[in-house]
Structure 1
Amino acid sequence: MRRQPISEQPFLSIVIPAYNEERRLPPNLKRVLEYLDTQPFEAEVIVVDDGSEDRTVQRVREVAADDPRVRIIENEHYGKAYAVRTGMLAARGEIVLFSDADLSTPIHEIERFFPYFEQNYDIVIGSREGGGPNQRVGEPFYRHLMGRVFNLLVQLLAVPGIRDTQCGFKAMRREAVHDLFPRLRIHDGSKGPVKGSMVTGFDVELLFLALQLGYKVKEVPVEWRYGRESKVNPLIDSWRLFRDVLMVRWNHLLGRYDMRPKAAASNHPPTAH
């Protein structure tokens, strides 16, 4: 049975960037929608296709044909960072979450975030640190080591105090989305389409600007499972991440970021409805 259309402003928007995800995405979309069926609030799911070369778009359209909570945006292949940006700015929810297509962090972990929005945090990010020995499931030792070394550099150069900038599970108020994302300069699509999959440091740029502009950011431990089909290239992507962190500092040093005060945020915490 086809569902009724959702309201103009749902409580939650879930943005999922996708690149060649015809196999993993359909069952994961089903999991997301089944979770939302159990919640008291209205929500939308926005899949941003990053120029996939497989049948990702067709598969998402099939789901969207039966469920108006799902919509798809088709980009050229500009990379994950630009796909996330596109979806976040198109979202209508009071709270906007972006999540990886593989659901390495289960969608129900969003429930850990809601209390902090009620405490007037602007941005709540998932962290693969601080949750105990069983938090990171199935992760190879070398990947964990890479992550810790990278984070030490990130804390030194850009975002002190944040233990995990790269977990693909972050949420923020809609006002913060529309203030921060237009300020991003790295991977903003201005250099045209890219080749292959890309792991980038846009999360670092986003959090750096958020802290510089005075947004309240909360890091919350979440469950995370390593995906065996991970598209991370340890050497190439490690260099790209480090280069992006240096670019954030360089852009800031040269005054390339718009650092005017943030837009006025609501004094009232969002309430699920």
Structure 2
Amino acid sequence: MTDTFSCDVSIVIPIYNEEENLPDLVARVGEAMEPSGFSFELICVDDGSKDDSARVLRDLAARTDWLKPRYLMRNYGQTAALQAGFDGVQGRYTVTLDGDLQNDPLDIPALIRTLESRSDINMISGWRKERQDAAINRKIPSMIANRIIAKVTGVRLHDYGCALKAYRTELVRRIRLYGELHRFIPVLAFEAGAKIMEVPVRHHARTKGVSKYGIDRTFRVILDLLLMKFMLRYLHRPLHAFGGAGLWMGVPGLLICGYLSVLKLFGESIGGRPLLLLGIMLVLMGAQLIGLGLLGEILIRIYHEPEGRAQYRLRPPPED
């Protein structure tokens, strides 16, 4: 794809039930960006909000030329909403942040200037060094999760969950988001060859609306972390993962079956031995895993095809 840009900065914000925050959010983005000297656009993606967020966005866009809303047909989740925003960016740099005003838009120009001055950096990730959230259900679980993710993936960041991030748009166009991988964008960027920098950013307590996050997401993070580990190590060679496990099971199974076959040749009864069931089970499981590895090798060819199915559908702005 040829990179064509119509402005300096594209700001992407997923929106879900944030009607109370939207007027202040748009105003504060304007206050931060208009004096900065950067041309910009604000892409707010309404992720099937159940309140009046879509209508508020429509009304704000009618009198704000740099606000470009996108409206999803239903609630697809934050990952798909971010990808919908990424698909529409026209700036040389792309910035993401949450719509709850806990991230401060005033930090955006400084992030962009850092990217401009550091040609070796592809992505800057915010670090909520003085996070204004409850300790028990937000800060402590997040701190533990950040350390585990950094240890498992090798991408050393203090704060994976900070939505305020800045990218060179060519990097954004090299990665695709699906499922709930918005939490692991730094890992995906690292896998795409990006060099990542982390800087402290401001963080404010939520004053309007209700948080969409709960402690239950910790379990989903663990599952996604397993996926990230697999992607970093075995994405392009799945046969090494499944085939290796298959050999570890299949070879002992074959040895057990061979041993029992020798005993059978010498006239011993092996039909009632638990060892026979164990050998057969190991051989079958090993064969299945090797088959999965071969299937993965075929699927990875599809993964590298240039075309893919969209994770979302757009709808027109709401009508009165």
| TM-score, scaled relative to structure 1 | 0.78
Structure 1 residue 144 displacement after superposition = 1.4
Structure 2 residue runs of 5 or longer lacking an equivalent are: 237-299, 305-320
Residue of structure 1 equivalent to 2:122: 122
Q: Does structure 1 retain, via aligned residues, the 8 Å contact 2:128–2:202? A: yes
Letter in structure 2 aligned against 1:156: K
Residue of structure 2 equivalent to 1:152: 147
Distance 2:154 2:222 in 1: 13
Distance 2:52 2:153 in 1: 38
Structure 1 residue 52 displacement after superposition = 0.9
Residue of structure 1 equivalent to 2:89: 91
Q: Could you list the per-position Cα deviations for residues 124-169 of structure 1 after superposition, in whole angstroms to 9, with x for gaps in the alignment?
A: 111113xxxxx223x2221211111101110111243111111010
Q: Does structure 1 retain, via aligned residues, the 8 Å contact 2:5–2:92? A: no
Residue of structure 1 equivalent to 2:195: 216
Structure 1 residue 253 displacement after superposition = 4.6
Distance 2:24 2:158 in 1: 31
Instruction: Indicate yes or no: 2:241 matched with 1:247.
Output: no
Distance 2:85 2:9 in 1: 13
Distance 1:45 1:213 in 2: 25
Structure 1 residue 8 displacement after superposition = 6.2
Q: Does structure 2 retain, via aligned residues, the 8 Å contact 1:202–1:244? A: no
- Which structure: larger Rg? 2
> As a proportion of its length, which structure holds more helix?
2
Structure 1 residue runs of 5 or longer lacking an equivalent are: 1-6, 130-134, 188-199, 261-273
Residue of structure 2 equivalent to 1:165: 160
Q: How does 1:44-193 map to 2 (within 5 A)?
A: 44-75=41-72, 76-117=74-115, 118-120=117-119, 121-129=121-129, 135-137=130-132, 139-142=133-136, 143-181=138-176, 184=177, 186-187=178-179
Residue of structure 2 equivalent to 1:196: none
Q: Does structure 2 retain, via aligned residues, the 8 Å contact 1:48–1:74? A: yes
Residue of structure 2 equivalent to 1:237: 217
Structure 1 residue 254 displacement after superposition = 4.4
Letter in structure 2 aligned against 1:94: R
Letter in structure 1 aligned against 2:81: A
Distance 1:241 1:225 in 2: 24
Structure 1 residue 99 displacement after superposition = 0.9
SS in structure 1 at match of 2:190: helix
Letter in structure 2 aligned against 1:72: P
Distance 2:112 2:102 in 1: 20
Residue of structure 2 equivalent to 1:31: 28
SS in structure 1 at match of 2:19: coil
Q: Does structure 1 retain, via aligned residues, the 8 Å contact 2:21–2:101? A: no
Structure 1 residue 72 displacement after superposition = 0.9
Number of residue pairs the alignment of both structures matches: 231
Distance 1:10 1:111 in 2: 14
Q: Larger relative CO (CA 8 A, sep 6+): 1 or 2? A: 1
Q: 1:13 aligns with which of 6, 10, 30?
A: 10
CA-based RMSD: 2.2
Structure 1 residue 227 displacement after superposition = 2.2
SS in structure 1 at match of 2:50: coil
Q: Does structure 2 retain, via aligned residues, the 8 Å contact 1:127–1:164? A: yes
Structure 1 residue 252 displacement after superposition = 4.2
Letter in structure 1 aligned against 2:35: T
Q: Does structure 2 retain, via aligned residues, the 8 Å contact 1:116–1:218? A: no
SS in structure 2 at match of 1:180: coil
Distance 2:58 2:206 in 1: 25
